[in-house]
A and B are shown apart, each in its own frame.
Chain A
Amino acid sequence: MTEQLAHTPSIAPARGPRQLIFETGSLESRCVEVPALDVPSASMEEMLGGRVRQTALALPHVTEVEIARHYAHLASMNFGVDTGMYPLGSCTMKYNPRLNEDAVRLDGFAGMHPSQPVSTSQGALALMAGLADALAEVSGLPAVTLQPAAGAHGELTAIMVFRAFHTANGDPRTRVIIPDAAHGTNPATVSMCGYEVTTIASDASGGVDMDALRAALDTDVAALMLTNPNTLGLFDPNITEITSAVHAVGALAYCDGANLNAIMGKARPGDMGFDAMHINLHKTFSTPHGGGGPGAGPVCVTEALAAYLPGPVPVRDGDVFALEWPEHSIGRVRGSHGNFGVMVRAYAYILALGGAGLREASEQAVLSANYLKSRLRDAYDVPYDRPCMHEFVLSGARQRRDFGVRTLDIAKRLLDHGVHPPTIYFPLIVDEAIMIEPTETESLADLDRFAEAMLSVAAEAAATPDLLHGAPYTTPVRRLDEVRAVKQPDLRWRPRT
């Protein structure tokens, strides 16, 4: 087995774990200090009315060089888009353009206080208005809030808007329909809005089961939440029938925009009959994921729902920009104006690509996904085998049945081949799911490298299944004991007393 391991490239320099930053440096180490106080001052005790901290405080004590070394080491244990292809399905891990990183750091953006007078914020408001206009055009839904901080937050905002709309019509309703292929955030969002979830099954071709939908629809239904293209990477061919059926009972149709990268410039959710959608700026519009955030989840809605959006929204009055509250606004879903820094990056991306460039990005994303599927279709099961959009779902069911190798083992072994694994075990309706989204920013050579790794692992699964059970071998750390993490929670370092 040692020989088999030896040829596999390492995903990162195999650096061992790093001690905690709390265990680095000496007690007298200092990095930055505050200048000497230049004003006369009473005692802290007096100024704070006796509330001065008595409780011990333990923070790192390090010099700048120790900080640099610590985080350089941590960085070397991380995989990012710059490291290599990151084919996580439904996550759209495309390249993050560097100009956008510079733009967001301009003093005229980074140094803005959210409560500055609008006369001093015209550039920021113009940017927000321009971004909102572009998102309205891409989505086909004319009214936009940029406030939500993430996709899940956008979903929540949209369902709150729906709820306010129904309530204003004297028809509050009680249920929201969600297909079983949906992201887990959808049902969690529904609960936070005080609605009940009605789950409906997908049909044999992976789309919404029209009979199940019609059976579930009645005048208690507030909304349908649908991802289209769906989490199988398939565009639902019945989309207009679906939204018509929803509207026929007075309910509203919500589009989870996770998969917008498939259809920019090709089709618009607004034209499909959706009443609202959220857009993940960190997926479709190339803003970096940051190891989990920040992202941004703007929500686009129809004219009929515009008055219910959270406020304030940037508006244009001739050459001047202002902030206004929609007439029946649900209120606010977070402080300030939203994740402005993320908006700056997304707007720069849209300016760079333009309308035709966005369309080209979607076309290439779809072609690249279909290409990978064609290369992998013999080695893995393809449960829903029709042309896919920007992502597709394989199943490791064959490998599990024939060789006792699970999808988790396949994913871990891919790490030894130097590629980041796809999303696994999602969507839930596919057994041993492997969900692959290459995005448009991978070259043919990188797509082939990933395909070769997937094919090699499939071959290894048949020949040496135990090799996969023990993988990975070459990563900074090996497979983790997740049960221990739960059973013996160690969620913080504690200073020695």
Chain B
Amino acid sequence: MRFIPVSCEDRESMLRAVGCPNVESLFDSIPDSVRLHGGLDLPDGLSEMEVDARMRGLAGANVAATSLVSFAGAGCYDHYIPAVVDHILRKPEFFTAYTPYQPEVSQGTLQSIYEFQTMVCELTGMDVANASMYDGATAFVEAGLMAARVTRRHRVVVSAAVHPEWRQVLATYAAAGVLEVVTVPTAAGVTDASALTAVLDDSVAALMLASPTFYGTLEDLASMCAAARAVGALAIVAIAPALSAVLEPPSVHGADIVVAEGQPLGNPMSFGGPGIGLFAARDMHLRQMPGRIVGRTVDADGTPAFVLTMQTREQHIRREKATSNICSNHALNALAASVYLSATGVAGLEGVGRACVAKAHYLRERLLATGRFEAPWDTPFAHEFALVSKIHATKLQGSLLGAGYLAGVRAADISGFEPSDLPDIDRTDDLLVFAVTEKRTRAEMDAFVQEVASL
């Protein structure tokens, strides 16, 4: 076995030291009735070369989005990842380390998380950020749970313009009995303000929004956050972090908690995971925040150093009274995000944001000009937009796939989506959401538009 560096001779000497005749006798405490006598029904182990071939075979049986011209987004985006990012991630001192419980030998992880927390605060405009959560969806739900703790209310109002999967995760957690969820439908691709007024009252813990929305549209955050504040509810806003240099952060409008799926910052799409949940809040709510938090302090010699802190919120101390059961973060993905943001800097991130927004606007105009689509609304959007296909949307996507294109994501293919999310749209079955990142060139988009026109 190439991962067990113990020879037969070593094994014998270890058994002698233990005072056992054989390894089997070490398992005597397992009752015979539950012993697995026949061994596992799994194939024999393979050599590294064979495993490599099997994994390449499986990878080759996929047609990766990155090998196509992809306009798929819907929460997971094909941004350029600078080469330096993966070279840092491959350092074993980072990826083979555990959670930094022994800070004296974990300063690398701890400092990188402190820097990450700073970057998340900067992007979101908030006071404090945690060390990250599992993904955007769970960060969003944890924000709802936090709002319930802060307000001591248990009803949350969520916009139907939020990613349907995120709402589905929210509903799943809520069904466990800790939250009540009220969904507000959309009008013109954003939260319906009048429907919202009807459900906001002083029993509501939080108004939960996304801007950009699942459809790429931009909410009127100023009035939304004000409406939440007026009833004493927290405003929770999910953002698109790759656009943070060009879009005004929700903090400006009074958001209380800002979350995001951080995958676009230096992490590959990887079939949707692992991503990384970004989570930021106001100072005043720090002690109700879920997740790991790193702080700067000093060591015994007075040297500045970093440590996990604010741990009295956490499960290993508070047990059933903890702010969450989470006991980890996505540290390696956070590292990727930190390296990415260091590589882009403000200028590079601005460039990414501008390119995505400009190219998305270009593509939408060109696609509409083909006459194959209708615009469902005229609401401002960022790097993602929805169009209603005049041809059966699945057929259209199928034809374009044959030509080497991922023609967006059909809203109805996303679990949790309901036609009632978009009451002002008749043919939601044919609604496609297109995303454009800085990786798409004008030549690719023009060829795509030509392909659409030829259908």
Residues of A within 8 A of B173 (CB): 160, 192, 333
Task: Verify if B115 is at the interface (C-beta below 8 Å from A).
Answer: yes
Contact with A along B243-284 (1 / 0, CB 8 A): 011111101100000000100000011111111000000000
Known pairs A11-B105, A111-B66, A149-B134; list 18 more (Cβ under 8 Å).
Answer: A20-B115, A39-B359, A62-B343, A78-B107, A82-B92, A83-B92, A110-B270, A113-B269, A113-B406, A164-B175, A184-B315, A187-B319, A288-B96, A332-B168, A340-B271, A367-B11, A472-B104, A480-B103
Assess whether B454 is interfacial by the CB under 8 Å rule: no
* B-side contacts of A31, CB under 8 Å: 82, 84, 342-345, 348
B56 smallest CB distance to A (angstroms): 7
Residues of A within 8 A of B94 (CB): 71, 74-75, 78, 80, 290-291
Q: At the interface with chain A, which of B1-9, B199-207, B223-231?
A: B1-9
Distance between Cα atoms of A48 and B217 in the complex (Å): 9
Q: Is the CB of A55 within 8 A of B251?
A: yes
Could you say which residues of chain B place their CB within 8 Å of the CB of A58? Answer: 122, 346
Interface string of B90-130 (1 = CB under 8 A from A): 11111111111111111111011011011101110101110
Answer whether residue B156 sits at the interface, using C-beta atoms and an 8 A cutoff: no
Residues 303-351 (chain A) with a chain B CB within 8 angstroms: 310-312, 325, 330-342, 344, 347-348, 350-351
With A51-B248, A110-B269, A489-B310 as known contacts, state yes or no: A368 contacts B62, CB within 8 Å.
Answer: no
Q: What distance in Å separates the Cβ of A21 from its nearest Cβ neighbour in chain B?
A: 5
- Assembled-state Cα–Cα distance A50/B246 (Å): 11
Please give, as numbers and ranges, the residues of chain B lying within 8 Å of A357 by CB-CB distance. 1, 45
The answer to whether B33 and A374 have CB atoms under 8 Å apart is: no
B14 at the A interface (CB under 8 A): yes
B339 lies within 8 A of A71 (CB): yes
Q: For residue B408, which residue of chain A has the nearest CB?
A: A115
Interface centre among B11, B50, B271, B441 (most CB of A within 10 A): B271
Contacts A33-B348, A71-B339, A120-B63 given; indicate if A112 touches B270 (C-beta within 8 A).
yes
Q: List 12 A-B contacts (CB under 8 A).
A: A17-B303, A51-B218, A57-B244, A67-B343, A109-B270, A110-B64, A184-B327, A265-B40, A340-B272, A440-B3, A481-B299, A492-B129
Residues of B within 8 A of A444 (CB): 6-7, 10, 13-14
Contact of A491 with B92 in the complex, beta carbons under 8 Å: no
Residues B320 and A197 in contact, CB atoms below 8 Å apart: yes
A440 to B1, CA, bound (A): 11
Partner of B115 from the list A21, A39, A40 (CB cut-off 8 Å) is A21
Q: Are A111 and B247 in contact (CB under 8 A)?
A: no
What's the Cα separation between A155 and B177 when bound, in Å?
A: 16
Segment at the B interface, from A89-97, A210-218, A247-255, A455-463: A89-97
CB of B108 within 8 A of CB of A77, answer: yes
The 8 Å CB contact of A336, one of B35, B165, B312, B320, is: B165
Chain A contact residues, majority secondary structure: loop
Number of interface residues of A (CB under 8 A): 212
Interface size on B, residues (CB 8 A): 212
Q: Which of chain B's residues have a CB closer than 8 A to the CB of A105?
A: 86, 268
Chain B residue at smallest Cβ distance from A265: B40
Q: Is A220 an interface residue (CB 8 A)?
A: no
Please, which residues of chain A bring their CB within 8 A of the CB of B416?
332
Q: Contact check, B59 vs A54: say whether CB atoms are below 8 A apart.
A: no
If A335-B163, A375-B17 touch, whether A235 touches B29 (CB-CB below 8 Å) is yes
- Chain A: CB-nearest residue to B443: A38
Does any Cβ of A come within 8 Å of B382's Cβ? yes
| Shortest distance between the CB of B320 and any CB in chain A (Å) | 4
* The residue from B34, B136, B406 contacting A116, defined by CB atoms under 8 A apart: B406
Most chain B CB within a 10 A radius of its CB, from A374, A412, A478, A492? A492
Known contacts: A75-B94, A294-B330. The answer to whether A333 contacts B172 by CB under 8 A is: yes
Is the C-beta of A271 less than 8 angstroms from some C-beta in chain B?
yes
The CA of A115 and the CA of B362, in the complex, are separated in Å by: 24
A60–B165 contact, CB under 8 A? no
A102 to B95: give the CA distance in the assembly, Å. 13
B346 touches A61 (CB 8 A): yes
Q: Are B274 and A339 in contact (CB under 8 A)?
A: yes
Q: Which residues of A contact B91 (CB under 8 A)?
A: 71-72, 75
**Shortest CB–CB separation between residue B154 and chain A, in angstroms?**
10
Let me know if A442 is at the binding interface, CB within 8 A.
yes
Specify which of A286, A342, A475 lies most central, judged by the most chain B CB atoms within 10 Å of its CB.
Answer: A475
For the complex, is A257 an interface residue (Cβ under 8 Å from B)?
A: no
